[in-house]
Structure 1
Amino acid sequence: MTVDFPWQLDGRGRTAVTDQDDHIRDLIEQVLFTTPGERVMRPDFGSGLLAMVFEPGGPEAAAAAQYLVQSALERELADLIAVQAVEVEAIDAAIVVTVSYVVRRTQTQSVATFSAPGGAP
């Protein structure tokens, strides 16, 4: 068991924990929503996705966001997951990212969807 992200209390008032598969999803979320330069000892960590929210939309922006996300995930989490596909869409005021991946430890395939900011998938 590992500490859940974002940090929260469980029903007993203790630090919430999570299983390994949910922890990997949490790690993907951290990579997506951390801006490079935000972490002091890891200045290259993150994808830069949040900066894309303020860029003009269109197929070029979606392709650039897809490239940023996929390369960041492969750089940061290659030992834990194999990225199968990344899909980036602009829906209303939100960027919605869907990541298909295989957990290397168990060889199970998963799909996770994330939204930033403004709306839930």
Structure 2
Amino acid sequence: MTNSAEVHEALRKIDEQVAMSQHRAQLMQDLAVQIEAIHVEVTSPGGEMTVHVDANGRLIDIDLTSRAMALEPSRVRTLLLDSLDEAYEEATRRSVALASAAFGPDAPTVAGLRENAERYRPQLKREEDEQ
């Protein structure tokens, strides 16, 4: 190969790498928008309440029915915590599914989402934990 051909080949490879990097960056931006749009609703088994959480499992809203008002406060608390826990799990599952679809199930991005979901899992204090 001539010096000129080697330079052209090196430049072609650099162009390919830049294009791949730009594509991956766009995938990451798209993924971030999709994950940010995740909103999960979970209704308690008896229909006493529905919790609404964002992609990070943070409580956005809660709808209570008259059934909830008839319960003992400790039961309402348990239903709320159970619903929040379930909603967090669902938000995590959706985020991981989106990342897996974009990058493949074994991608570092997917592993990072799973690790962060566990690391930042809300520490919901249960009454039985306090005894």
Same fold (TM over 0.5): no
Tell me which of the two structures has the higher relative contact order, counting C-alpha pairs closer than 8 angstroms and 6 or more residues apart.
2
Select the structure of larger CA radius of gyration.
2
Decide which structure has greater helix share.
Answer: 2
TM-score, scaled relative to structure 1: 0.33
TM-score, scaled relative to structure 2: 0.31
Decide which structure has greater strand share.
Answer: 1
